[in-house]
Amino acid sequence: MRPRMDKTFNPQNIETQLYQEWEEKGYFKPSGKGEAYSIMIPPPNVTGSLHMGHAFQDTIMDTLIRYKRMDGNNTLWQVGTDHAGIATQMVVERKLANEEGKTRHELGRDEFIKRIWDWKAESGGTITKQLRRLGASVDWDRERFTMDDGLSEAVKEVFVRLYQDDLIYRGKRLVNWDPKLHTAISDLEVENKDKKGNMWHLRYPLADGVTTKDGKDYLVVATTRPETMLGDTGVAVNPDDERYQDLIGKEVILPLVNRRIPIVADEHADMEKGTGCVKITPAHDFNDNEVGKRHQLPMINIFSKDAAILPNGEGYTFDGKELSLDAPIPADLHNLDRFEARKAIVASFEAAGLLEGIEDNAMTVPYGDRSGVVIEPLLTDQWYVRVAPLAEPAKKAVEDGEIQFVPKQYENMYFSWMNDIQDWCISRQLWWGHRIPAWYDAEGNVYVGRDEAEVRRENNLADDVSLSQDEDVLDTWFSSALWTFSTLGWPENTEDMQVFHPSNTLVTGFDIIFFWVARMIMMTMHFIKDENGKSQVPFKTVYVTGLIRDEHGDKMSKSKGNVLDPIDMIDGIDLETLVQKRTGNLMQPQLAQKIEKNTRKTFPGGIEAHGTDALRFTLAAMASTGRDINWDMNRLEGYRNFCNKLWNASRYVLMNTEEHDCGANGGDMQFSLADRWIQGQLHKTIKQVRQHLDAYRFDLAANTLYEFTWNQFCDWYLELTKPVLFKGNEAQQRATRKTLVSTLETLLRLMHPLMPYITETIWRNVAPLANIDGDSIMLQSYPAFDESLVNQQAIDDLEWLKQFVVGIRNIRGEMDISPSKPLSVLVKNASGEHQRRMDENLTFLQAMAKLDEITVLAAGEKGPASSTALVGDMEILVPMAGLIDKDAELARITKALDKAEKDFARTQGKLSNEKFVSNAPEAVINKEREKLEEFRLAMEKLKEQKATIESL
């Protein structure tokens, strides 16, 4: 297919069609040839849709993959999605409620899971469809899903082996409990919000007639959660706090429940804060839990799974054993929700005269990001991975440079987490996920195995022993942690494992270094060994991206209504639809008005279509050093214009080469200075772009391409081909046509990884002219730098030509002489080199500066009163007669002279500094001397010129 090229660039007309063709023809598959290069996509949430962060990361991954593919590697970009336990379960639950008015419990577990699979088949492909719009060259035939058979097999295998290695255990510990969803959740799913709350000061009477230093028979503890006092098992004071020294080891009588609890000394108590006394509730607060552990206080759980008050506190020791301890709770509190209980307890304290006071208090409260309710730290039975032993090799791999982070400072973040690592709670009280491969008998003994039959066999359990499988499923991150190898067919030792593992580059956000990156490293190094038994790393480089924020630097979020959808930037969206999209389905509908107002203000005309290539190029251009990006629509528009520029430049090339002899089959060719120059510039560009891509500096790569394309190729080279194509002889035309075609063809290949669609479209038109027979630019080789094609003489000559042309354009601009008015100019002090350059490039000079004649003045000849420009030590004179305004010219000269004088003075100052001359390197000094001479010359000429004009 050779696409047509309209006058303006219309991305909609080309993108989808090209992508389908690429996919159908299997261009995204590994070639099977060359050195392997693989990237494993961070699997997006199957319920999700593409956001700017995905677009950013996917652009970078695709750029790398396309670059390596063209450069001859056997490339695999592995794609897939994760099953997103909670999110997916909730989506289907909601659907079930809306459509059938049923809960999942009414449906039953098996039927509900079946419904999830139905949903997935129907609606689970949103994000992968969007990924296609971005041009992502992933191998779709290998698409994986964390719940599919192969990956589930890997999950089971890993669980069983870790258990056998004593790296997985079951225990009763504190977790982030979501009282609405009835499951443990990970820290990542907890949103900490700053809230205004209260600090209650409660009196705890001292036992045994003890009094404080100032004679009081009670202590005052300050707390933000009075309701948890029912589970207090201690009061802590700071060991250095003189106020309470005598009381350490004594006891208080816990009000309402009349339990004696000890006063302990612990650093956790902050002398500056409140009264310096804190209540310790080890079963309901993470900090208190640590304190309790240090002082061997019992844990007393007072909450049900709904976070309502129990009739009796449940006591446990820190090794999870039940404690027979009497912790009754007053009957009027039973079954009260935690916030109701708070009111009731505060009221009771007040009634008993034990409420010392209430203060306002700013605090951070954890909310479940899915349920929106306050998370309760709760003691529950969960499965844990013992992480410390796994962390050691994982740390070492980064220390030794086996895995490198780009940018490097993120290694600190990695180490800080790995050095203070907590065991990982991997079980979730959900239905959707990998069911934990553990079975219990009637006595509560636990057996772990790949299936029930294996459990019976391994443990000699008769068929009549009844076993029931653990109801819980595994954290989604557990299966994600296996992603790099489970997707390649592990536990089978597949050929893919041998070829594509370890993968090369992981592209991800800094926010999941802990949750995902570190865990992948640990899991991979534990399970995957090379032929010598050495642990393999999952990837060699981790490229960490920053966050994409809105134009004011605010995080994009639904509730702020500042989310930008990458697809909207590609296809465009009208204002009304955008407003609807941003204000619909809000958790807090009262925000709608404000969001609407802001949206109308920011996007009065909606968002125009910019196309995928412009979006990708913008993302690449803004991808510097892993820091956050403040999204700028103006940049996007600028790069859309850039696409249009490339498009039209290509049209120019095609118009002048199609149906002409472009020298593809030889013939006489006489290359112009411009031809030789642009080839050199192109190769310098190739070298730089490769360097930048290799260094993950996509911003610099994009800038280099932009600069070459617009400022060299379009602004100078294309203009310089016009005189040749209009007036040159056959050999000159043939040479220039050949250069036009080959430069553009190479440039397109160089750009392709960043802008796949536009380059493919143009390339298919250009390639035949260069005698290249290929179906797709994707499969062509990436341009290689050839130093022999960089012609320094041509570069110097063309720089001279530019100076000449710009000098005249300058005069035109400042003197208001129309660019269309031809000028005759004179040159003074034209040495041999200047003369040669003029002789060789007269046509170029005439065309580019719109000149009639150039007259060379003899030595000593003054010439008429003129406005002048300098090219090195040569002076160009544009005669003033009838053209130039005396005052304007004087103003222009004065300004230029000022600048020259300043430059001269500064340079002279440097050179007359004895210390500079004796310390600075020779090259620097020489450069300064050259500059001085240049400025001196300019001053001289300008003064002379000024005098001439003044005397008129």
Partner RNA sequence: GGGCGCUUAGCUCAGUUGGGAGAGCAUCGCCCUUACAAGGCGAGGGUCACUGGUUCAAGUCCAGUAGCGCCCA
Secondary structure (3-state) at 6: coil
Give the C-alpha separation, 738 to 675, whole Å: 9
Return the residue of 530, 551, 786, 861 that touches RNA, per CB under 7 A. 551
The answer to whether residue 602 forms part of the interface with RNA (CB under 7 A) is: no
- Hey, which residues between 398 and 417 contact RNA (CB under 7 A)? 409, 412-413, 416-417
The Cα 723–Cα 941 span in angstroms is 32
Among 700, 740, 794, 854, binds RNA (CB under 7 A): 700
Interacting residue with RNA among 147, 278, 622, 949 (CB under 7 A)? 622
Distance of alpha carbon 117 from alpha carbon 720, whole angstroms: 62
Chain positions 318 to 357 lying near RNA, rule: CB under 7 A, are none
Task: Tell me: cis bond preceding 407? Omega within 30 of 0 counts.
Answer: yes
- In whole angstroms, what separates CA 888 from the centre of its chain? 52
Which long-range CB contacts under 8 A does 100-109 form with residues at least 24 apart? 104/431, 109/431
Rule CB under 7 A: is residue 819 a binding residue for RNA?
yes
Q: How far is the CB of 135 from RNA (least distance, A)?
A: 18
- Residues of this chain, 652-691, that bind RNA according to CB under 7 A: 652, 655
Contact between 703 and RNA by CB under 7 A: the answer reads yes
- The CA distances from residue 387 to 166, 318, 533, in Å, are 11, 19, 21
Give the number of residues in contact with RNA, rule: CB under 7 A: 78
Q: Is 453 exposed, middle or buried (0-12, 13-18, 19+ CB in 10 A)?
A: exposed
Nearest in space to 835 (alpha carbons), one of 856, 866, 807: 856
Number of Cβ within 10 Å of residue 894's Cβ equals 12
7 near RNA, judged by CB under 7 A: yes
56 binds RNA (CB under 7 A): no
Give the binding range for RNA (CB under 7 A) out of 8-16, 35-43, 300-308, 769-777: 8-16
CA end-to-end span of the chain: 67
The answer to whether residue 814 forms part of the interface with RNA (CB under 7 A) is yes
Can you tell me whether residue 111 is helix, strand or coil? helix
> What's the min distance (Å) between Cβ of 437 and RNA?
30
Integer Cα distance of 334 and 703 in angstroms: 67
When the beta carbons of 78 and 681 are compared against RNA, the nearer one is 681
- CA–CA gap between residue 210 and residue 218 (Å, rounded): 8
3-state secondary structure at position 312: strand
Binding residue for RNA, selected from 19, 67, 244, 514, defined by CB under 7 A: 514
- Least distance from RNA to the Cβ atom of residue 770, Å: 19
Binding residue for RNA, selected from 261, 643, 689, 741, defined by CB under 7 A: 643
Instruction: Please list every residue from 415 through 444 that binds RNA, using CB under 7 A.
Output: 416-417, 420
Q: Which stretch binds RNA (CB under 7 A): 15-23, 716-724, 774-782, 789-797?
A: 716-724
- Which one of 296, 577, 625, 771 is in contact with RNA (CB under 7 A)? 625
Residue 885 CB, shortest distance to RNA, in Å, is 13
Token output for 314 = 């449940």
| Binding test (CB under 7 A) with RNA, winner from 29, 660, 809, 943 | 809
What's CA 220's distance to the chain center, in Å? Answer: 49
810 binds RNA, rule: CB under 7 A: yes
> What span, in angstroms and rounded, lies between the C-alpha atoms of 281 and 259?
13
Window of 89-97, 243-251, 645-653, 769-777 that interacts with RNA by CB under 7 A = 645-653
Binding span for RNA by CB under 7 A among 23-31, 312-320, 491-499, 627-635: 627-635
Length of the chain: 952
Of 303-311, 389-397, 764-772, 813-821, which segment contacts RNA by CB under 7 A? Answer: 813-821
DSSP secondary structure of 146-187: TTSHHHHHHHHHHHHHHHHTT-EEEEEEEEEEETTTTEEE-G
- State the Cα–Cα distance between residues 635 and 703, nearest whole angstrom: 12
Q: At its nearest, how many Å lie between RNA and the CB of residue 247?
A: 25
| 234 in Cβ contact with 295 (< 8 Å) | yes
Partnered with residue 366 across adjacent β-strands are 192
Q: What's the CA gap between 348 and 444, in Å, rounded?
A: 41
Q: Which of 634, 792, 912, 951 binds RNA (CB under 7 A)?
A: 634
Element (H, E) at 899: helix 886-912
779-808 positions binding RNA, by CB under 7 A: 806
Residue 903 contacts RNA per CB under 7 A: yes
Using alpha carbons, list the distances in angstroms from residue 567 to 143, 341, 820.
22, 48, 44
Residues 166, 412: contact at Cβ < 8 Å? Answer: no
Q: Binding to RNA by residue 593, rule CB under 7 A?
A: no
Residue 640 binds RNA, judged by CB under 7 A = yes
Which CB atom, from 94 or from 627, has the smaller least distance to RNA?
627
Does the footprint of RNA cover residue 637 (CB under 7 A)? yes
**Contacts to RNA from residues 216-245, by CB under 7 A:** none
By CB under 7 A, residue 601 contacts RNA:
no
Does 484 bind RNA (CB under 7 A)? Our answer is no
DSSP annotation of 73 reads -
Residue number with CB closer to RNA (533 or 921): 921
Residue 214 vs 922, nearer CB to RNA:
922
Shorter beta-carbon distance to RNA: residue 246 or 940 = 940
Q: What one-letter code names the amino acid at 195?
A: K
Is residue 560 part of the contact set for RNA (CB under 7 A)?
Answer: no
Shortest Cβ 268–RNA spacing (Å): 9
Q: Give the Cα separation of 748 and 137 in Å (integer).
A: 17
Q: How far is the CB of 629 from RNA (least distance, A)?
A: 5
Our measurement of the distance from residue 308's CA atom to the centroid of its chain's CA atoms, rounded to an integer in Å, reads 41
Q: Which is nearer to RNA, 744 or 770 (CB)?
A: 744
Environment class of residue 201 by beta-carbon count within 10 Å: exposed (0-12), middle (13-18) or buried (19+)? buried
Nearer to RNA, 103 or 711 (CB): 711
Site for RNA in 915-944 (CB under 7 A): 915-916, 919-921, 924, 927, 931, 934-935
Residues 719-738 contacting RNA, CB under 7 A:
719, 722
x/- contact string, 172-201, with RNA (CB under 7 A)?
---------------x--------------
Q: Which stretch binds RNA (CB under 7 A): 32-40, 139-147, 431-439, 629-637?
A: 629-637
The reply to whether 885 sits near RNA by the rule CB under 7 A is: no
Cα–Cα distance for residue pair 149/117, rounded to 1 Å: 13
